[in-house]
Amino acid sequence: MQQTIRVTVWCEHNQDRYEPVSLVYPHGMHEAIAEGLRQVSDFQVRTVTQHDPECGLDNELISSTDVLIWWSHLDNNDLPDDLADRVCSHVLNRGMGLLVLHSAMFSKPWQKLMGIYPQPPGWGSFRTMPQGERQRLWVITPGHPIVQGIDACIEIPRDEMYGEPLLIPEPDKTLFISWFEGGDVCRSGCIFERGNGKIFLFTPGHETFPIYYQKEIRQVLKNAVRWLAPSGTGAFQPDVPYRDGTPKENLQHRL
């Protein structure tokens, strides 16, 4: 019997309260993202926003979350450090999965987990045009669970360009690389493992375009949730004595 995966979609919910973004996402970006995931019977999906108490990251909620999805942009710096650290700790220790979307690559939880907080200047690039530009996300690893059901590439008609060189540690695996009409490239789907937890950076998703309604993007998010779910307890039992039998309580300390 398959176990339910408890997903929490977290969004800052700022720009999507006002036009023009609210025209694209009338119920907020979190609800559009959640809608796609609710089609999966063994996902139990909640949404929270930065406006909720404790920025939507209270202990009970986060402790009962298997996979946390994060979209943020303008309010990245308003997240208190201790709440960002709480997210990191659940990834590292409890193995909570983290899905980092678009501008969340400038959020504190992501940057802290990658060792790039605060990010120095001079890294990455972007190009924002009202009409957007075409993006093709090429599949680099056809056998990976996150790309199942996806053709050779996903074509997004209009998106913002996010480009290299991203300031990220070498990914465990690069699943997607994006081609942009304007002449740039981006490692747009990358996985990392940190402590007991898995992390997926997925860079498309500018707020002014209906990207989180696109069928292939929803497929990737579904696949990603399943892959990100913690695979085990990660429980750690240090009951191993010194080799000559000296009582371990005298000798062995876990940090």
> What residues between 137 and 166 interact with its own copies by CB under 8 A?
138-145, 147-148, 151-153, 155, 163-166
Cβ proximity to its own copies: between 22 and 117 the closer is: 117
Q: Using alpha carbons only, what angle is made at residue 116 by residues 125 and 146, rounded to the nearest 5 degrees?
A: 75
232 binds its own copies (CB under 8 A): yes
The one segment of 12-20, 56-64, 71-79, 134-142 that binds its own copies by CB under 8 A: 134-142
Spatial distance between the Cα atoms of 6 and 35, rounded to a whole number of angstroms: 14
216 binds its own copies (CB under 8 A): no
49 binds its own copies (CB under 8 A): no
Of 44, 97, 72, nearest to 234 (Cα)? 97
Among 6, 40, 54, 117, binds its own copies (CB under 8 A): 117
Of 15, 77, 67, 19, nearest to 46 (Cα)? 67
Among 3, 19, 60, 236, binds its own copies (CB under 8 A): 236
40 binds its own copies (CB under 8 A): no
Q: Identify the residue whose tokens are 């990455």.
A: 124
Spatial distance between the Cα atoms of 3 and 218, rounded to a whole number of angstroms: 21
How many chain residues are in contact with its own copies, going by CB under 8 A? 86
68 binds its own copies (CB under 8 A): no
Spatial distance between the Cα atoms of 215 and 223, rounded to a whole number of angstroms: 12
Cβ proximity to its own copies: between 9 and 113 the closer is: 113
Contact present, 217 and 211 (Cβ < 8 Å):
yes
CB of 56 to its own copies, least distance (A): 21
